[in-house]
Structure 1
Amino acid sequence: MSLARQVLAVNDDLPIRTNTPVHSGKVRSVYWLTPEDSQRLIAQKGYDVAPDAPLAIMVISDRISAFDCIWHAEGDMQGVPGKGAALNAISNYWFRLFKSKGLADSHILDIPHPLVWIVQKARPVMVEAICRQYITGSMWRAYSKGERNFCGIQLPEGLAKDQALPELLITPSTKGILKGIPGVPEADDVNITRQDLEHNFKAFGFSAKSDIAAYETLLKQGFGVISDALKRNDQIFVDTKFEFGYVTDSNGQEKLIYMDEVGTPDSSRIWDAKAYGEGKIVENSKEGFRQFLLNHFPDPDILLNKDRMPEREALARDNALPLDALMDISRTYTGIAEKITGQPVALSDNPKAEIVQVLQDQFGLID
């Protein structure tokens, strides 16, 4: 069995019964179930959701996205072996830990396969909530050029690259292009302040102004839970992105929940604590792959400059990376997943066939 065949690169062509187009993102594809199938599963499985809640099958791929492009390698390697299963396993572990500690629920209702979630539809908060414990990455690049105000927070002079920040910072940005909000440019991923959120809470998708404080609490609690657990594995939780949304439970109660993935090497930076203590940065996240790309191509500005997006897309499309680059990140993903969960990440011999089988046998969702 070739390794390339064990990679799930295309995940939007499964014969899952749906009456709407499949939504395919950079890494996950979402199949919205028919109202009949959603209601049948809610009744059969006893999910704690409104009886008419729309449900979806979310299938994660092994594709690797960086700098808003999908990358591939020699030998027809269209993704990273074990990446999807590792990301799901890590998120599943943190979501369970959050629930056991009395934090919020997530959108996940069932996990029928290592690459699959059954989720309920949430009304998203249009904010990417970023928490930072160290100054690195884009924040350091801006700071080193003289910027001191980040999302309305004034940073002190004299900070050094990769050092711990005086406190955990929340630096939100827009999720998607939001229109008609005073002072907020109509572009994706624009930094915003807490004042922006308070003055326009409905435009950002919050039900009430008081929910801004609730979301900040969930951010800090979630960051703390993951950070403490990683510390026990000699890892540093550097920064991360959370996403939130609203759902209605079986009693008709609206609640704020965690969405998407949490605490993964895709959405976070994780450093090896022992190496950091020795003055070195060893990445246990996708940041290592980003750094590889910046070093691999002669003109890294193409990857960093949003105005050069057509060149960047051509770079990703026309260049098969060395196979070692994807195998290195495979070891990073599966290694950190095994550290966090205590379980090995198993590669599927035929992931599509396995997914189809389980969705038909246990859920009756295959046409």
Structure 2
Amino acid sequence: MSLADKVLAVNDHLPIRTGAPVHSGKVRSVYWLNEADSARLVARRGYDVAPDAPLAIMVISDRISAFDCIWHGEGGMNGVPGKGAALNAISNYWFDRFREQGLADSHILEVPHPLVWIVQKARPVRIEAIARRYITGSMWRAYANGEREFCGIKMPDGLHRDQQLPDLLITPSTKGILEGIPGVPAVDDVNITRGDIEKNYQAFNFSKVGDVDRYETLLREGFELISARLAELDQIFVDTKFEFGYVNDKAGNEKLIYMDEVGTPDSSRIWDGPSWRDGRVVENSKEGFRQLLLNHFPDPDILLNKERMQERQALARDNALPADVLMAVSATYTGIAEKIIGKPIQLADNPETEIVDVLGGEYGLVD
């Protein structure tokens, strides 16, 4: 069996019984269960959710996206070996720590396979909750071009690239296109201020204005918990994106929870501590893959210029990356995951078959 056979590249065609069309994102696919299967699992598995809570099966792939494109490699390797299992394992680890420390629950109810989550439907808060401890990436580029205000927060002069910031900086942006909010352009992923959120909390899907404080608290506490654990591993938690949503528990109480993924190489920048102290940035996150792509192609402007999206898509479609490139990315993902969780990431021999067997047998979700 080749290494390519161990990669789960396509994840939206599994024979899972659903009650709605499968939603396929860049990395994960969501199979919404029908009402009968959701109710049966809630009762049988004892989940702390409302008896009629809609459930879904979320299957993560090994695909890798960067610059809004999906990339592939030579030899039919349409993803990065171990990437999906690494991302799920890291998120599961942090969600468990959050729960143990009394921060908040997540949308995950059960993990039947390393590539699969059973989740409850949440009402998402329409904010990309971003926290930064270092000035780098897009924020540094804007700062270097003279910007001094970010999401309503004024920054001092004299900062240098990759410098640690005096305080943890929260720089939220919109999730999706939100219309009719004064001062907030109706485009996806636009920076917003704390004042924007408080004045228009309902438009951002908060239940009450006090939950704006709650989301910031959960963001800060989650960031600090991850940062402290990574520091023990001599890794630096640079910046990250969290997402939040609302669910109801079995007693009918509404609660704000963490959702999507947390603290992963896809959603965060993680730097190697010893290298940083030597004056070098070594990425243990997807940012390393982005830099690799920028160095790999002769005209990096194609990857950076949104007006050249058609050329960019053709670049990703028509260029199979060398296998050693994808294996280097695999080593980054599995390496940081194994550091965090303290045990090896196991690659499935035939992930699709394994997933179908588990969900069809113990859970009765395959026709």
Amino acid across the alignment from 2:56: A
Map residues 65-104 of structure 1 onto 2, 5 A cutoff.
Answer: 65-104=65-104
Map residues 240-279 of structure 1 onto 2, 5 A cutoff.
Answer: 240-279=240-279
Map residues 1-367 of structure 1 onto 2, 5 A cutoff.
Answer: 1-367=1-367
Q: Quote the Cα distance in structure 1 between the aligned partners of 2:173 and 2:240.
A: 13
Instruction: Give the match's secondary structure for 2:79.
Output: coil
**How big is the shift at 1:63?**
0.1
Identity %: 74
Q: Quote the Cα distance in structure 2 between the aligned partners of 1:179 and 1:35.
A: 32
Amino acid across the alignment from 1:312: R
Instruction: Give the match's secondary structure for 2:362.
Output: helix
**How big is the shift at 1:232?**
0.4
Instruction: Give the match's secondary structure for 1:363.
Output: coil
TM-score in terms of structure 1 length = 0.99
Greater shift in the superposed pair: 4-13 or 308-317 = 308-317
Q: Quote the Cα distance in structure 1 between the aligned partners of 2:275 and 2:85.
A: 27
TM-score in terms of structure 2 length = 0.99
Q: Quote the Cα distance in structure 2 between the aligned partners of 1:202 and 1:167.
A: 28
Q: Quote the Cα distance in structure 2 between the aligned partners of 1:322 and 1:186.
A: 40
Q: Quote the Cα distance in structure 2 between the aligned partners of 1:146 and 1:301.
A: 22
Amino acid across the alignment from 1:169: L
Q: Quote the Cα distance in structure 2 between the aligned partners of 1:306 and 1:245.
A: 30
Q: Quote the Cα distance in structure 2 between the aligned partners of 1:245 and 1:305.
A: 32
**How big is the shift at 1:306?**
1.9
**How big is the shift at 1:297?**
1.4
In angstroms, what is the RMSD of aligned CA positions? 0.7
Total equivalences in the alignment: 367
Amino acid across the alignment from 1:76: G
Instruction: Give the match's secondary structure for 1:5.
Output: helix
Q: Quote the Cα distance in structure 1 between the aligned partners of 2:126 and 2:294.
A: 30
Q: Quote the Cα distance in structure 2 between the aligned partners of 1:120 and 1:152.
A: 34
Contact 2:359/2:365 (<8 A) preserved: yes
Contact 2:29/2:59 (<8 A) preserved: yes
Residues 43-63 of structure 1: per-residue CA shift (max 9 Å, x gap): 001100011100000000000
Where structure 1 has 5 or more consecutive residues not aligned to the other structure, the ranges are none
Moved over 3 A (4+): none
Contact 2:67/2:304 (<8 A) preserved: yes
Q: Quote the Cα distance in structure 2 between the aligned partners of 1:294 and 1:153.
A: 31
Q: Quote the Cα distance in structure 1 between the aligned partners of 2:315 and 2:155.
A: 36
Amino acid across the alignment from 2:139: M
Q: Quote the Cα distance in structure 2 between the aligned partners of 1:300 and 1:141.
A: 16
Amino acid across the alignment from 1:88: N
Instruction: Give the match's secondary structure for 2:219.
Output: helix
Q: Quote the Cα distance in structure 2 between the aligned partners of 1:239 and 1:262.
A: 11
Q: Quote the Cα distance in structure 2 between the aligned partners of 1:106 and 1:283.
A: 27
**How big is the shift at 1:307?**
2.2
**How big is the shift at 1:19?**
2.3
Q: Quote the Cα distance in structure 2 between the aligned partners of 1:42 and 1:159.
A: 52
**How big is the shift at 1:186?**
1.4
Contact 2:18/2:32 (<8 A) preserved: yes
Instruction: Give the match's secondary structure for 1:166.
Output: strand
Q: Quote the Cα distance in structure 1 between the aligned partners of 2:147 and 2:362.
A: 54
Where structure 2 has 5 or more consecutive residues not aligned to the other structure, the ranges are none
